[in-house]
Chain A
Amino acid sequence: LPQPKVLLIRDDELHTRGYYVVAQALREAGMEVVLGGVQTPREAAATAAQEDVDLIGYHIMTGAPVILLEQLFHRLREAGVQAPVVVGGALAAEEIPRLKALGVAEVYLPGTPLNDIVAQLRRLL
């Protein structure tokens, strides 16, 4: 099996902890992680297309999740990227149905164990 390639992006400059912790967990689980850092939806779609990634993880700590995901999916469609998108960070459960309706594959609320994230991503890949 080829090594799965995951693009991790985040929405803000300041909150980096969860982003890097998840990146490390994915690497230890044998995935190739592309650290995109802070990217706008437009930039993220371009990176995803260029790197030909299998999955996109979006760490959202500050921005409005529904607005950002609407934009991201719009840009991904434009770029012809079909990789599944998962979201984690400081979100509220009430946003999950709206995010899923937009096409988000999984939403990770604060406190999710790393093993759970890894196991679910393996199923998605």
Chain B
Amino acid sequence: MYDRKILKKLEEARARYEEEVARILKERGETGYRTPSGIEVKPLYTPLDVSGTDYERDIAFPGHYPYTRGLFPAGFRSRPWNLRQVVGLGTAEETNARCRYLLSQGQTALGIVGAVKSGMGGYGYDTDDERTIGFAGKDGVQLDTLADYETLFAGIDLDKVSVHLISPSAVALACYINVCRKRGKELRHIKGSMSNQVRPGRECLDIIEFCARNMPDFNATYIDVRNVREAGCTAPQEIAFGIAFGMAAADALLERGLDIDQFAPRITWFVNAGPEFFEEVAKFRAMRRLWAKTMRERYGAKDPRSWRMRAHCQTYAPSLTYQQPLNNIIRSTLYALAAVMGGVQSLSVNSFDEVLAIPTEFSATLSLRTQQIIYFESGVSEVTDPLGGSYYVEWLTNRLEEEASRLVETIQSMGGAFKARAWMEQQVREAAFRQQKEIDEGKRVWVGVNAFVEPDDRQLQFVTSQGTDLLYRYDPAIRDKQIARLNKVRAERDPQAVERAKLRLREAFRNRENVLPAFIQATAAYMSGGEIAQVCREVLGDTDDYFYYSHAAYFPAT
């Protein structure tokens, strides 16, 4: 990128400068800095650190391969990121009200989290199962049958609002399809996305295959590395594990006879944005570049849409504190800024109270306002990849890509992501433990936790006091309300349609065919997620062969 003579001259100047800095830092007893991912970072970067980088080959223009600077030529000016705060509480009624409120306040897209211990969470239990006691309405919206989905989306224009179902479940997708069809939409025009994270088990692949063949506008493949990061992995691991999961899905789908360009354009990523600001910005750039290369060079994808790594980001939560909880507003703002500077397509900013409880309308709106202030007031959305060209950011992008590439090859040498899961899990656990040790030993400052502690934590008092009424307080009666709804649906539906649907389900499970059509029929007959899972158990036994019962699907419970 630079003239060789200039670089030569610069080398001498840099040597003098580095000597000067080394002397100053030695006097101060400074011992160097490593990012939380363990990457050693110098106090300054110059053109010499990126002398091997070729602008057109490695960085290029936004909207052009390898997409280091972003996916779209005009950046956020033509494609603003989706303001997609996560919503999911109570029954369908409460979540519908929250969604409509946030949309009225300027939210542009929905991310609806289904109760983990329910049909939508992929576990196949209805609300009347004992597993939901103490959880119903608290771990996402409690949805049992299509009737709940109808309530959930009432008054929401699905043509105008982009919907993401935070659920890996084929039952949830079937219900969503039925809602759309009842509004007169044909399958091939249904838009949206879901958290169908790449995992073993047939459910995941059935969803992708069904959508690839019938719903070309629906984003059916989901690479969730955001939650792997939450569990403790580092930035380069977040990149590498995502690429490896993507490759595992691609290999399995190619085996089912699909063409790479038939499904790769509808792969979306779920990524994190955490405390180390520049490392996060560089991570998004490195991810895009490595994914583009993987799809084009390794898999021979020809459609440029297959090369583009589209990402939804939810900001990092493990660093949010119980102590001085209002500080979390500032933390999440910084993380959101990194995601925006890194060029994500969609964003959810955590609320300050999420360490204590699920967000209230008040705190959820504050998160939305955080995004709006970044978008409308800071000017950062006007210039594409504004940190591109920074010697530091370009160097760090290269460094992260190199490290991630090495990890991808390690995983491939173990037989791919599905086979290397135990090793990957171990990497995550070790990284999490190391980070906790650094905090406990005071090697890394955590404001309000291991430094600047306030014995009479006034922020905490303010947030938790009954008088300010800021905190969500759980009402267990929500479970009884939902069970009553479920019983009403069971009493009112057509029993013959249910019997026909059950026969069809049994046949589909027994013949190992793609079960989506049978699921669509069953949910249309108002069968619940739990009832569908029960049929599955009757036919296949208690097996993980179809449903892969783990939300932390990569690293199943020990």
Q: Which residue numbers of A lie inside 8 Å of B, CB to CB?
A: 11-17, 20-21, 24-25, 35, 37-38, 40, 42, 62-64, 67-68, 71, 90, 92-94, 109-111, 113-115
Contact = CB atoms under 8 A, between A and B. Distances in A.
A118 B509 CA distance: 49
Given A93-B464, A111-B322, A13 B550 contact: yes
Nearest to B435: A21
A13 B464 CA distance: 27
A92 B356 CA distance: 6
A12 B116 contact: yes
Given A37-B557, A64-B476, A110 B355 contact: yes
Interface stretch (B129-137, B156-164, B239-247, B333-341): B129-137
A20 B440 contact: no
20 contacts: A11-B135, A12-B135, A12-B139, A15-B230, A16-B231, A17-B318, A20-B231, A37-B557, A62-B116, A63-B134, A64-B134, A64-B138, A68-B134, A90-B322, A90-B357, A111-B323, A113-B439, A113-B440, A113-B450, A114-B440
A14 B227 contact: yes
Interface string B535-558: 000000000000000111001011
Contacts of A92: 356-357, 464, 471
Contact of A62 (B138, B232, B557): B138
Top 9 A-B pairs ranked by shortest CB distance?
A37-B557, A67-B134, A13-B551, A110-B322, A63-B134, A64-B134, A111-B449, A62-B139, A35-B558
Contacts, number: 91
Contacts of B450: 113
B432 A90 contact: no
A109 B476 contact: no
Given A13-B550, A16-B555, A21-B436, A64 B135 contact: yes
Contacts of B117: 12
A7 to B, nearest CB: 12
A71 B437 CA distance: 34
A116 to B, nearest CB: 9
B423 interface: no
A94 B464 contact: yes
Interface in B413-452: 429, 432-433, 436-437, 439-440, 446, 449-450
Contacts of A64: 134-135, 138, 474, 476
B236 to A, nearest CB: 18
B193 interface: no
A37 B549 CA distance: 13
A37 B551 CA distance: 13
A68 to B, nearest CB: 5
A111 B321 contact: yes
Interface size class of B (residues with CB under 8 A): 35 or more
Contacts of A35: 558
Contacts of B446: 111
B150 to A, nearest CB: 26
Contacts of A16: 231, 552, 555
Nearest to B549: A13
B202 to A, nearest CB: 20
Nearest to A43: B131
Contacts of B439: 113
Given A64-B134, A110-B355, A115-B440, A17 B449 contact: no
Contacts of B138: 62-64
Query: By CB atoms of chain A within 10 A, which of B138, B433, B439, B450 has the most?
Result: B433
Contacts of B429: 20, 24
A38 B117 CA distance: 11
B474 A38 contact: no
B133 A71 contact: yes
Contacts of B476: 64, 67
A42 B130 contact: yes
Contacts of A17: 230-232, 318, 432
